Homo-oligomer: A and B are copies of this chain.
Amino acid sequence: MQRFINDPDDIVDETVRGFVKAHGDLVRQHPENARVVVAQGAPVAGKVGIVTGGGSGHEPAFIGYTGRNMVDAVAVGELFSSPTAKSFLDAIRAADGGSGVCVLYGNYAGDNMNVKMAARMAAKEGIEVLTVVANDDICSAPPEERDKRRGVAGEILMWKIGGAKAAQGASVREVQAAAQKALDATRSVGVGLAPCTLPANGKPNFEIPAGRMEIGIGHHGEPGREVVDLASADGVADEMLRIVLDDHDLGAGDEVCVLVSGLGATPVNELYVLYNRIESQLSERRIRVHKPFVGNYFTSLEMMGATLTVMKLDEDLKALLAAEAASPGLGVSA
């Protein structure tokens, strides 16, 4: 295992310490919980707090989206594991400015359980907590079971929209509605080319044979829709787009936000090769990319592969997307 690690048990704590040192202008560590990262300046009195959380190993997700007009506090889990209910609770408390908190997180069993528990405890303390559960990953369940789908890189757009809405002074119900609207307008699909290795295990967490690719793979290597021969970059882009368009209400004249993320070890230039084709194919269908994001936005350690996320825009979402925000993982200039 060719990796920079000390004791595998210390990876997450060391990651968080290095992260808050590197981005001290935007974030700080929770004074009493080493597994909570809080935005500088949070909580803001009167503003709805935005909270998320999830397993580590997806950096910049989740901690990297903490910042100004983005996420106020993040609960940090072990590699590929849910944060504890206690960490979600501490994140909720740290984000609460007296006007309630929205927890915007991904649809995984551990996260669901721990967020629910934390929300109940926070409610007892008088904090109003609403949630939005991201389920943008198309291939993780059929359309009729959309509530079983997992959350993936579409969460980043949900945080951006929810964070912008909260910054405008909206109520906790309005923030929840905006984040839910962003999510409902968003679909994602992943393609895996090579697995990753959790240091404590020391061996790959799944296999993809050379010359093959896994369509619809999850962020932790959850099985996808099918394993097929590795296609050309254009072939992969077309297949990802086909899956998104088959599941989404998109047509000529629509405007979208497109996010192409690498899963970790795929060279950055290849993400641009994919995006070049995706944009061309959308353009041929007269679907305009209003706002693109291309880079390593939501990774899975050193997995090879990429994800495509498409959010259908209206004027409301466009304005929230364009609102100023600053976080280590994503920034929008004023």
Contact = CB atoms under 8 A, between A and B. Distances in A.
9 contacts: A2-B210, A4-B193, A12-B269, A14-B233, A15-B273, A18-B273, A21-B275, A22-B292, A59-B267
B22 A267 contact: no
Interface residues of A, number: 58
A124 interface: no
Interface of A is mostly: mixed
B267 A296 contact: no
Nearest to A79: B269
Contacts of A114: none
Interface in A187-246: 193-194, 196, 208, 210, 213, 230, 232-234, 236
A233 B302 contact: no
A2 B331 contact: no
A4 to B, nearest CB: 4
Contact of A272 (B6, B18, B193): B18
Interface of A: 2-6, 11-12, 14-19, 21-22, 56-57, 59-60, 193-194, 196, 208, 210, 213, 230, 232-234, 236, 264-277, 279, 289, 292-294, 296, 299, 301-302, 304, 306, 326, 331, 333
Nearest to A212: B2
Given A60-B268, A267-B264, A5 B232 contact: yes
Given A2-B194, A2-B304, 17 more contacts: A2-B210, A4-B266, A4-B270, A11-B273, A14-B233, A14-B273, A14-B277, A15-B272, A18-B271, A18-B294, A21-B276, A22-B272, A22-B293, A59-B267, A59-B268, A59-B269, A326-B333
